[in-house]
Structure 1
Amino acid sequence: MKHISNKNFVLMLAGLIGLISGIAAVILKESVHFIQHKLHESITLENYLYFTFPLIGILLTVLISKYILKETMGHGITQILYDIAKKSSVIKRTRMYSRMITSALTVGFGGSVGLEAPIVVTGSAIGSNIGKFMHLNYKKRTLLIGCGAAGAISAIFNSPVAGVIFSLEVILADVTIGMFIPLLIASVSGALISLTLLGDDVLFSFKLVDSFTAADTPQYILLGIVCGLVSVYFTRMTYKIEGLIGKVKQVYGKAVVGGILLGIIILVFPPIYGEGYETIKLLLAGKESQIFNRSLFFNNLEDAWMLLAFIFGVILIKPVASALTIGSGGSGGIFAPSLFLGGVTGFLFAAVSNVITWGNVSTSNFTLVGMCGVMSGVLYAPLTAIFLIAEITSGYELFVPLMLVSAIAFSTSSIFEKHSLYTKHLIERGDLIQYDKDRQVLSQINLTKIIEKDLLVIRPEANLEALVDLVRISKRNIFPVVTEGNELVGVVTLDDIRNIMFDLDKRETTPIRAIMHKPPAYVSPHENMQSVMEKFERTGAWNLPVIDNGKYKGFLSKSRIFNTYRTKLIRTNRE
């Protein structure tokens, strides 16, 4: 503190967080592949344990998360965005390791989700807790969360540029020039750890064998539209399936139902087992017939159209499998499923195009570009998708089609879905506000902390004389009319009684019930501030009562909100 400037200190922390996130990514990746290797050694075509593995993984995840970690799994990046928006970028300490443990079990035993979101949660939690330990403010804690995410993505894919851009596009809402250097340092640190410990054995990589041909541009344009539509299907099907399995209230019942259904799906469609990168590698290598291995129903199929029909079935069922895995209590993310779905979509598109003689297009190129398209349409992170595929292919040969398909897929998806799968529910609930500084500051105001409770109350059966006595000692001009059960039945303002309060006869004979009136609107302490301000605007009132479960809690004052807003704005700008 004495010899290092704040700026340099943050740079040092960024490097440290990138290193730790990189180590965490390597441990998670190796753990999952170790579990998968041991399980695969015991699998044969007739071995029905293959059917039970996902169920075992989900049950183990539920047991550990409930009794040891005491956490609820789900979409981890969504939770990170919520913590940034609503919890001042303070992430629970247990998340520095909880998602690593649970996702290793879920994915290792065949859950149809990815490791990227869990490792992003791990890296983000490391950044947040180091920032909290060092007593850094909200802005710097948020930046360190982004550093953890950048380091994690960089390490797991060996893609430092994609790591930085993912942080900027998905995690960090306010992007400034000052954020780039810490993110770059964290991302490079993560990549160096990955290269040192894993070498080329990263989660997914591929060397290009075919070059881009400009004559294929019309097919790439059409692929972009198809990827956008597939992205919408993925998003909506995920929400639908998670909603359906969420109706099973018992935790273990949900895990058993989800695990059994997932096992049945994998039994019919083995490519859906785990992350799916092995299937993508087979498609890229021209060994698509091998994706039937371990299928009890489609083994050794030779017919080309049957292969394409099987792949189409995989596209339809993959979102269901991913949603079942997460919805039933498993731990993982949609990052890998979106890449898998995009790769399979791109391959199917190229294969059909070649069969109907539109031209001899490269199936490997379309597989890679399809991965970029669906990822762009699901995550709403087009730049991340472009640079990720460019980096994992070790070159920018496909940069033009990647940009084209990513832009078209994103635009197509945006027509049907305004928000990404990560942010949709948060934005609809008002828990996340993007690209609106006014609403962002407003959302940081804690409504329960600004409720005014100094107003003097009066009973509805009292008379005007009793109210005049309150006027003498009150500093406010509003008097809530509250029953003995603490229920608000009306309000009386000083303006309501000004013309009769000096009439001695009326003071004795006028009941409060006769002069009170209903407030123009009520506020719940659980409402978001945007909704509260809309009520103030609609009614033109300066004060509104707060009611919780029918009980009177106090009043909200527009002037108090404005003062709090100004304080928050000054503090945010200063930070």
Structure 2
Amino acid sequence: MIFKRLLGKFLVWRIRHLSIKNFVILLAGVIGVIGGLAAVTLKGTVHLIQSGLLSLNLSFAYIFFPVVGILITAIIAKYVLKERLGHGVTYILYAISKKSSIIKRIKMYSRMITSAITVGFGGSVGLEAPIVVTGSAIGSNIGRLMHLNYRQRTLMIGCGAAAAISGIFNSPVAGVIFSIEVILSEVTIGAFIPLLIASVLGSLISMLFSGDDVLFSFNLTDPFLTNDFLFYLLLGAICGLVAYYFTNTTLFAERLVSKIKQPIIKALVGGLALGVLILVFNPLYGEGYNTIKLILNDEASSVFSQSEFLSGFSDPWAIVAFALLVLLLKPFATGFTIGAGGNGGIFAPSLFIGGITGFLFASVNNLLELGKTISVSNFTLVGMCGVMSGVLHAPLTAIFLIAEITSGYTLFLPLMLVSAIAYSTNSYFQKHSFYTSKLIESGDLIQYDKDKQLLSLMNISKLIEKDLLTIHPERKLDDLVDLVKKSKRNIFPVVDENNVLKGIITLDDIREIMFDKESQKNVIVGTLMHKPPETVSSKENMQQVMGKFEKTGAWNLPVIDNDEYVGIVSKSRIFNTYRTKLKRQNKE
């Protein structure tokens, strides 16, 4: 009560002394600081768990670590947090599209807890999506607390996501671009300032508490050569195909494990499958950034020394074969982790598999001695950009992320080229990104169509009109006339004793005989009714409902749920609601 009273006084003071524009900027700064602290906390926790496990020096422990981590995560999620894990960014997009940008408070910390355990114990996923969920939830709930409207809450979600990405990579520009490309469907010039503030503060907080301890960074050693242009062009097309393979294989592996319904058994089976892969292919352990760093530092051969079974190999072609197997198996490792009940995202795996793609491309070319030696480190970095662009359908985010983590724009031209080619190649096979495909297919997310976006915000169950008087088909016309006298409507649903709709009667159907005394006594209602041109369900979305209205040309359609009559939905009420929402959105 005290908090609510103080909050009320603060909000009154704000209205009197602070414009909403400046208030939103202030809140963006607060969200940036909290988002940065969340990123630092998550990174520190994961590193602490990983260093503690590795200090045990157990030869075959890799097969057990993921099982334990996924099992603990599944138990905490089901019995403590009591929430269903999944792809975090997809959840954020769903909340913006269908939940008025309202994200549950538990998301402000639940994904941090579960992802720290999953990744810390070797789950083959990334921390980026969980921290984006955390930052977005912080933004949403601060927006709700401060009584912001839908559009302003959505902007606060974007600020939280920008701060999260900026804090975890120390890359403020990539944080802003990610928020614009992936989270927010539309951005005005005025929205840039809050996003910039949140992203910069998230990065500053991360630098203040973590220093140079970021998830991934590399200083370029090789220059960009313009005569490598054709090689980058080919790499872009390959990255697009690899992104397609990664997306579909990850989802396949996830579905495969998800078929097991019992959570504990599912965690054990998926965790053991992941553990076996990691035991033979050590780079699949965790996010995989350490492997990419070794490749960039020309220490690819040392990757073998970390494997219990392959430490004796040193032939360059053996390294290439090993890297190819890692590339092919990484999507399975990621899918097993998520499907078994672990928590993490596909952001880091897409960067990892992109780095391996670039490494393979450059290594094979150099080993074949085709007349042109190319930089392994440069192509590894550009490959990371290409696959990430294809998987996330976020080419600008991929470009600026790699540019920032390499502390320069030396590779900016090849990054732009490969990102564009990879995105175009992947888009030819996959119209939508990893995050949005399921939501768009189910109609829960509408992109780039303002009319459909507005319709998606309307819930048919709230538009059902239930004030119509019903009548049994065996009743006489005089009973119907009595209803006409009482009713303010000109439609009368005909239902039986089980509330099953048999037909519809309108005043036009009875106008000529309703005052005829003989007809009133002898005519049965069932002979006057007609079948409605179509029926709808309260579970249908508004696009489906409007499609039925357009197809039939009707102004009213009955709503049927579980074979029972519920009410009617009218085109006029839909139009009125649409107009109200449009005016409200324009006002906001």
What is the TM-score of this pair, normalised by structure 1? Answer: 0.98
Match for 1:397 among 410, 413, 423?
410
Q: CA deviation at 1:140?
A: 0.8
Q: CA deviation at 1:510?
A: 2.4
Cα distance in 2 for partners of 1:253, 1:478 equals 55
Aligned to 1:169: 181
Residue range with higher mean Cα deviation, 94-103 or 439-448: 439-448
Cα distance in 2 for partners of 1:121, 1:77 equals 7
Asked if the contact 1:76–1:118 (Cα under 8 Å) also holds between the matched residues in 2, the reply is yes
Q: CA deviation at 1:551?
A: 1.6
Cα distance in 1 for partners of 2:377, 2:306 equals 24
Aligned to 1:130: 142
Aligned partner of 1:34: which letter?
L
Q: What's the secondary structure of 2:301's corresponding residue?
A: helix
1:258-277 equivalences in 2 (<5 Å):
258-277=270-289
What is the RMSD computed on CA atoms of the aligned residues?
A: 1.1
Asked if the contact 1:43–1:50 (Cα under 8 Å) also holds between the matched residues in 2, the reply is no
Cα distance in 1 for partners of 2:169, 2:410 equals 19
Match for 2:571 among 552, 558, 569?
558
Aligned to 1:434: 447
Structure 1: any 5+ residue segments left out of the alignment?
Answer: none
Aligned partner of 2:36: which letter?
G
Q: CA deviation at 1:450?
A: 1.1
Asked if the contact 1:91–1:125 (Cα under 8 Å) also holds between the matched residues in 2, the reply is yes
What do the CA deviations read for 1:317-340 (whole angstroms, capped 9, x no partner)? 111111111111111001000000
Cα distance in 2 for partners of 1:147, 1:293 equals 43
Aligned partner of 1:437: which letter?
K
Residue range with higher mean Cα deviation, 549-558 or 388-397: 549-558
Indicate yes or no: 2:194 matched with 1:182. Answer: yes
Q: CA deviation at 1:75?
A: 0.3
1:117-516 equivalences in 2 (<5 Å):
117-358=129-370, 359-516=372-529
Aligned partner of 2:560: which letter?
I
What do the CA deviations read for 1:24-70 (whole angstroms, capped 9, x no partner)? 100100100110111111134xx222101101001101111111111
Q: CA deviation at 1:347?
A: 0.4
What do the CA deviations read for 1:266-303 (whole angstroms, capped 9, x no partner)? 11211010000001001101111111233233222122
Q: CA deviation at 1:524?
A: 1.1
Q: CA deviation at 1:81?
A: 0.7
1:514-533 equivalences in 2 (<5 Å):
514-533=527-546
Q: CA deviation at 1:443?
A: 0.9
Cα distance in 2 for partners of 1:161, 1:332 equals 23
Cα distance in 1 for partners of 2:511, 2:331 equals 66
Cα distance in 2 for partners of 1:553, 1:546 equals 5
What do the CA deviations read for 1:439-465 (whole angstroms, capped 9, x no partner)? 111111121111100111111221222
Match for 1:64 among 68, 76, 96?
76
Cα distance in 2 for partners of 1:288, 1:563 equals 64
What do the CA deviations read for 1:537-559 (whole angstroms, capped 9, x no partner)? 11111111111111211110000
Q: CA deviation at 1:144?
A: 0.7
Cα distance in 2 for partners of 1:48, 1:548 equals 56
Q: What's the secondary structure of 1:531's corresponding residue?
A: helix
What do the CA deviations read for 1:112-157 (whole angstroms, capped 9, x no partner)? 0000000011111111111111111111111111101101111111
Match for 2:60 among 48, 52, 55?
48
Cα distance in 2 for partners of 1:553, 1:88 equals 26
Residue identity (%) = 66
Aligned to 2:548: 535
Aligned partner of 2:290: which letter?
E
Indicate yes or no: 2:555 matched with 1:568. Answer: no
Q: What's the secondary structure of 1:23's corresponding residue?
A: helix
Aligned to 1:89: 101
Aligned partner of 1:340: which letter?
F
What do the CA deviations read for 1:453-504 (whole angstroms, capped 9, x no partner)? 0111111221222212212221212111112212112211222222332333
What is the TM-score of this pair, normalised by structure 2? Answer: 0.96
1:30-49 equivalences in 2 (<5 Å):
30-44=44-58, 47-49=59-61
Structure 2: any 5+ residue segments left out of the alignment?
Answer: 1-13
Cα distance in 1 for partners of 2:497, 2:277 equals 60
Residue range with higher mean Cα deviation, 498-507 or 106-115: 498-507
Match for 1:108 among 106, 116, 120?
120
What do the CA deviations read for 1:143-193 (whole angstroms, capped 9, x no partner)? 111101101111111100000000000011111111100000000001111
Q: CA deviation at 1:387?
A: 0.2
Tell me how many residue pairs correspond in the alignment: 573
Q: CA deviation at 1:512?
A: 2.1
Aligned partner of 1:379: which letter?
L
Asked if the contact 1:270–1:293 (Cα under 8 Å) also holds between the matched residues in 2, the reply is no
Q: CA deviation at 1:508?
A: 2.4
Cα distance in 1 for partners of 2:61, 2:245 equals 31
Cα distance in 1 for partners of 2:22, 2:47 equals 38
Cα distance in 2 for partners of 1:157, 1:481 equals 64
Cα distance in 2 for partners of 1:134, 1:90 equals 13
